[in-house]
Amino acid sequence: MSTQLPTGMEHHPDILELREHYERVTSTPLMQGIEALAVCCGLFLAISPWVVGFAAFPAAGGFAGVTLSNLILGLAFAMLMGGYGSGFERTHARAYAGAAIGVWTMLAPWWTTGDQAVTRTIWTNLITGGLMTCLCLGAIGLTLTGASAMRGGRRG
């Protein structure tokens, strides 16, 4: 009786090693802190039109402009990054998508309202979007630095 070895890519030694690496990285306190801050940023972005007070301004696009953009993208970012630590080994593209949401957040006041953007809207989106982008880039950096060191150490 012969034993058949698994043949799919999911059983390749390099894939398994990378999954283990990502799991080690996401279980560190630094990565868990990044995840917690990212979720808080997403939730703040979602409620920012009402907290900062620009939801009522017609110049901010009312509910159709920045308000709707912040609500949808804030909730999407919070959900995206909320599952980051628990499933990073399979869905590491979440950080790249989160960085894209952060960049959009910084540009949204001008792209959704034109030259009528309200100062509160601009500053809120610039600071929150910048922080979201930095957190995602930090998460990407932590995993890529460890992955390149892991590959380099194996070759040398």
Q: Which pLDDT tens digit goes with each residue over 91-140?
A: 567 888 999 999 999 998 888 765 556 788 889 999 999 999 999 998 88
59 burial class (0-12, 13-18, 19+ CB within 10 angstroms)? middle
- Domain membership of residue 36 (yes or no) is yes
- Domain membership of residue 155 (yes or no) is no
The arithmetic mean of pLDDT across residues 11-33, rounded, is 67
Structure tokens at 83: 């599952």
Select the highest-mean-pLDDT range: 10-19, 65-74, 116-125: 65-74
What is the average pLDDT value for the chain, to the nearest integer? 76
- Domain membership of residue 117 (yes or no) is yes
- Domain membership of residue 19 (yes or no) is yes
Q: Are 117 and 110 in contact (CB under 8 A)?
A: yes
Q: What is the pLDDT of residue 150?
A: 45
Supply the range of the domain harboring residue 122. 13-150
Give the percent of the chain with pLDDT over 90: 30
Structure tokens at 131: 């922080």
- Domain membership of residue 1 (yes or no) is no
Of the candidates 18, 112, 116, 119, the one whose C-alpha atom is nearest the C-alpha of residue 70 is: 112
| Domains of the chain: total | 1
pTM of the full structure: 0.73
For every residue of 30-65, DSSP letters joined together read: HHHHHHHHHHHHHHHHHHHIIIII-TT-GGGTTTTT
pLDDT(156) > 80: no
- Domain membership of residue 129 (yes or no) is yes
Name the phi and psi angles at 23, rounded to 5: -65, -40
